[in-house]
């Protein structure tokens, strides 16, 4: 029987090609050939979840009250832990009834928010490069995406002045993310003030992804958009337990901010899912209440790896600025080589996996992202292989 008539919906065809698929193929092939892969491609932190979090989950899993459907809006105590965390960290006051919503990981919420707020033809402003959910969610919703090109010259900050007046007027929402994945850039508080003023002026819903809130180094403190006066009326902010607490597999994150915006997302989600297993919410609550000494330990781990890798890259002739946050280095490819060709070559010649910048949109072309997810001995081994394979290095293409 001819089954050509089984075709996915148009909305799937609107998605840009998934660069990771080809990379996965090459990784599988290398593994088959017995190559000892060093995977610095994913943003998946290595290492276990902190012991007190696991223990809290183990106790909670025995409790029958978690065995039924969880409440749609998340447990009251996890929501309270979220709003307490915001108060402690940023001095931001939020109502746990309506201004905080637990999510099955922030990726889900970032994409579903687009479905909840964007109709086909609506205009959304999205930086390029960006975390894929920031443009794939709107693409699934059928929205028109206006790309905001980030450049090294502008320190990877959004150039608000470059947005044409008529585009700003038409735009319904804007996604942004600092500390930034994939560039590792951070934004000063003045930038947050400017973007809030911009969004107020043009009546644009501000969607901030603060997923690297705690992976900040050398005394740098990331800004929450909700700290900026007036922002709470027009913004939501996403955060995740995945990165800081090594909980990527648990699937738990949250969104906070304007209650009307959150209500729209909640209404959509009540039609799609039942929320998070209660025991996982208990675990997440425990994680948010871990003492600062835990955070300092995590930060120190990434600082050590960052400094080690920057120095090793420098010895190879590759100059990469010191990042103040995130778990990534954003490094230029040789001129004239696409980021995917470069990443594929590195993988084939050395067994080291890095992510092509083009996976984060066209604005990521010319760069690859290296994740600080291995210990220094493995990072050192990766660098030794690059040196032995005589991989050519790049200077920033767009400076
Ligand atoms: C890792 C990451 C996320 C997703 O985290 P989950 O909560 O695991 O879905 C969201 N945004 C950015 C920028 C990320 O790097």
91: left (phi over 0), alpha (psi -120 to 50) or beta: left
241 CA closest ligand 1 atom index:
7
pLDDT at position 47: 85
Using CA atoms, how far apart are residues 319 and 14, in angstroms rounded to an integer?
A: 37
Q: Closest Cα to atom 15, ligand 1: which residue? A: 181
At residue 24, the pLDDT reads 87
pLDDT at position 277: 97
Alpha helices in the chain (DSSP H): 10-13, 19-32, 51-61, 76-90, 106-117, 133-141, 165-170, 189-202, 259-270, 278-288, 292-315, 339-350, 376-388
Nearest CA to ligand 1 atom 14: 211
Q: Taking a C-beta distance cutoff of 8 angstroms, is the pair 393, 318 a contact?
A: yes
Block means of pLDDT (10 residues each) for the chain, length 399 residues? 89 80 87 93 87 98 96 96 97 97 98 98 98 96 97 97 98 98 98 98 98 95 97 98 96 98 97 96 98 94 96 91 96 91 93 95 96 95 92 57
Rg of the chain taking only CA atoms, in angstroms: 21
Q: How far is the CA of 3 from the centre of ligand 1 (A)?
A: 37
The pTM assigned to this predicted structure is 0.95
Residue 129 preceded by cis peptide, ω within 30:
yes
Separation CA 364–CA 173 (nearest Å):
22
Strand locations in 166-266 (E):
171-176, 205-209, 235-240, 253-257
C-beta separation of 343 from 356 below 8 A: yes
Q: What is the pLDDT of residue 399?
A: 35
pLDDT of residue 398: 39
Ligand 1 atom nearest residue 105's Cα: 7
Return the HEC string of 98-133: CCEEEECCHHHHHHHHHHHHCCCCCEEEEEECCCCH
List the domains of the chain with CATH numbers: 13-42+293-398 (3.90.1150.10), 51-288 (3.40.640.10)
What are the b/e assignments for 299-318, b being 16+ CB within 10 Å?
A: bebbbebbebbbebbeeeeb
Could you tell which of 128, 129, 209, 256 is best to mutate to test the pocket of ligand 1, judged by most ligand atoms within 8 Å of the CB? 209
Query: Regarding beta strands 367-371 and 355-356, do their DSSP bridges make them parallel or antiparallel, or are they unpaired?
Result: antiparallel
Centroid of ligand 1 to alpha carbon of 367 (angstroms)? 20
pLDDT at 397: 41
The helix (H) or strand (E) run that includes residue 328 is strand 328-332
Dist. CA 78–CA 368, nearest whole Å: 37
Between the CA of 184 and the centroid of ligand 1 the distance, in Å, is: 14
Lining ligand 1 with CB less than 6 A are 43, 105-107, 131, 177, 181, 209, 211, 240, 242-243, 248, 253
Residue 26: predicted pLDDT = 87
The answer to whether residues 174 and 124 touch, using CB atoms and an 8 Å cutoff, is yes
As given in the structure block, the two tokens for residue 111 are 């994409």
What's the pLDDT score for residue 356? 95
Nearest CA to ligand 1 atom 2: 211
Pocket test for ligand 1, best of 156, 178, 243, 360 (most atoms within 8 A of CB): 243
Ligand 1 atom nearest to 43, measured from its CA: 1
């Amino acid at each position: 029987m001819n089954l050509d008539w089984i075709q996915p919906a148009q909305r799937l065809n609107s998605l840009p090609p998934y660069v990771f698929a080809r990379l996965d193929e090459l990784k599988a092939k290398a593994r088959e050939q017995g190559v000892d892969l060093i995977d610095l491609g994913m943003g998946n932190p290595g290492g276990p979840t902190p012991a007190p979090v696991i223990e809290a989950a183990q106790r909670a899993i025995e409790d029958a009250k978690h065995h039924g459907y969880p409440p749609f809006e998340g447990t009251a105590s996890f929501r309270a832990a979220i709003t307490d965390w915001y108060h402690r960290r940023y001095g931001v006051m939020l109502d746990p009834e309506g201004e905080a919503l637990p999510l099955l990981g922030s990726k889900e919420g970032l994409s579903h928010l687009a479905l909840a707020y964007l109709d086909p033809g609506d205009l959304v402003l999205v930086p390029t490069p960006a975390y894929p959910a920031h443009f794939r969610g709107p693409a699934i919703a059928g929205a028109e995406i206006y790309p905001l090109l980030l450049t090294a010259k502008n320190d990877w900050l959004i150039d608000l002045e470059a947005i044409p007046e008529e585009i700003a007027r038409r735009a319904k929402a804007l996604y942004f993310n600092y500390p930034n994945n994939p560039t590792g850039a951070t934004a000063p508080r003045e930038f947050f003030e400017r973007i809030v003023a911009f969004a107020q002026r043009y009546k644009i819903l501000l969607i901030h992804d603060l997923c690297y809130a705690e992976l900040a180094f050398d005394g740098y403190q990331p800004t929450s958009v909700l700290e900026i006066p007036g922002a709470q009326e027009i913004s939501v902010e996403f955060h995740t337990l995945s990165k800081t607490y090594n909980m990527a597999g648990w699937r738990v994150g949250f969104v906070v901010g304007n209650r009307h915006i959150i209500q729209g997302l909640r209404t959509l989600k009540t039609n799609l899912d039942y929320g998070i297993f209660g025991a996982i919410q208990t675990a997440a609550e425990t994680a948010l209440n871990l003492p600062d000494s835990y955070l300092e330990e995590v930060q120190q781990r990434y600082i050590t790896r960052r400094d080690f890798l920057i120095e090793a890259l420098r010895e190879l002739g590759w100059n990469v600025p010191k990042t103040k946050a995130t778990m990534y280095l954003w490094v230029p490819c040789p001129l004239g080589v696409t980021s995917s060709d470069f990443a594929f070559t590195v993988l084939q010649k050395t067994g080291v996996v890095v992510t092509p910048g083009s996976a984060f949109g066209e604005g990521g072309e010319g760069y690859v992202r290296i994740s600080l997810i291995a210990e220094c001995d493995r990072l050192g081994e990766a660098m030794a292989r690059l040196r032995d394979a005589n991989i050519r290095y790049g200077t920033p293409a767009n400076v």
